[in-house]
Structure formats: C-alpha cells, structure tokens
Amino acid sequence: MTKSVKVLLVSVLLLFIGSVIAVIIIVRKPKGTYVEIVQNNEIIYSFDLSEEKNRTFRIAGQQGGWNEVRIEDGKISITDADCPDHTCVKAGVLRSENIPIVCLPHKLVIRFADKEQK
C-alpha cells in the first residue's frame, strides 16, 4: 500500500466516524422541551423550555380572569389563577406529551409542541 492510499483510507475513516457522530447528535437532539401556550386555539407563546430563563408571568383571559405561569429550571407550570376549581394549578408541572395543562374556564392550554407541526 502506498502512502497516499493509507492517507486516503485514514481520511475516509475519519469522515465516516465524523458523520456517524453527527448523525447521533442530530438524532439525539433533546426532545420534549418545545412548549406552546394556547389560548382558545391561538398560540400566544411558544418556546424551547431548555433555553428559557426562570420567570413568572401572568396571562390575562380573553373574557377576564388570569393565570400565573412559572418557568423554572426548564419546567413549566401554572402556579396561580383566579378560576374557581384550580385544576390547572393542581396539575403541577407539564410532564406528559399526552396530558396538557388545561384551564377550562379561561380556555388556556399549555402543552408540548407537536414536532410534526410547523
């Protein structure tokens, strides 16, 4: 084997390993951190939880009322609201892709964003 063939083989090998690593990184891109806050079918916030700063903010209902949303260490929850049942507050932090946080009286939904949807 000539020297140039060896160099070529090594570079092909490196290219191969490099692309394998790249594929792994792309595939393992953290999922389940994109979240949308939807008020009566209108997306009012959407963000990547893993990049959001800790903060608490209020969302005013379209027909009055409010919900207080907290983002803390990459997790999102409704911490307070003026609705009668407080189901949204009791739901705690958003965990499941199948179970959104819902405030029925204020038509507010917090859920993981669908990857298939743009």
Partner 1 sequence: MAKFKTVVMTSVFIVFLLCGCESKAEPNVSDDISMTRDVFAMDTFMNMKAYGSNAEKALSEAEKRVYSLENELSVTSESSDIWSINHSQGEAVTICDDTAKLVNKAIEIGDKTNGALDITLYPVLKEWGFTGEEYKIPEQSVLNELLSYVDYSKIDIEGNTIIVPEKAEIDLGAVAKGYTGDEIMKIFKENGVKSAIVSLGGNVQALGSKPDGSDWKVAVRNPFSPDTDMCVITISDKAVITSGNYERFFTDDNGNRYWHILDPADGRPADNGLVSVTVIGDCGLDCDALSTALFVEGYENTKDFLRNNDGYDLILVTDDNIIFYTEGLIESFSNISDMEAEVIKLD
CA 50 to each of CA 32, 57, 71, 78: distance values in angstroms, whole numbers, following the listed order: 9, 17, 10, 18
Specify the residue, 55 or 111, whose C-beta has the smaller distance to partner 1. Answer: 111
Yes or no: say if 78 and 110 are a contact pair by the CB < 8 Å rule. Answer: yes
Q: How far is the CB of 53 from partner 1 (least distance, A)?
A: 25
Q: Is 62 in the site for partner 1 (CB under 8 A)?
A: no
- Looking at the DSSP bridge assignments, the partners of residue 55 are 71
Closest CA to 91 of 105, 102, 106, 75: 102
Residue among 37, 59, 78, 109 that touches partner 1 (CB under 8 A): 109
Residue numbers of the site for partner 1 (CB under 8 A)? 2, 4-5, 8-9, 12, 15-16, 19-20, 23, 26, 38, 40-41, 84-85, 91-92, 95-96, 98-100, 102, 104, 107, 109, 114, 116-117
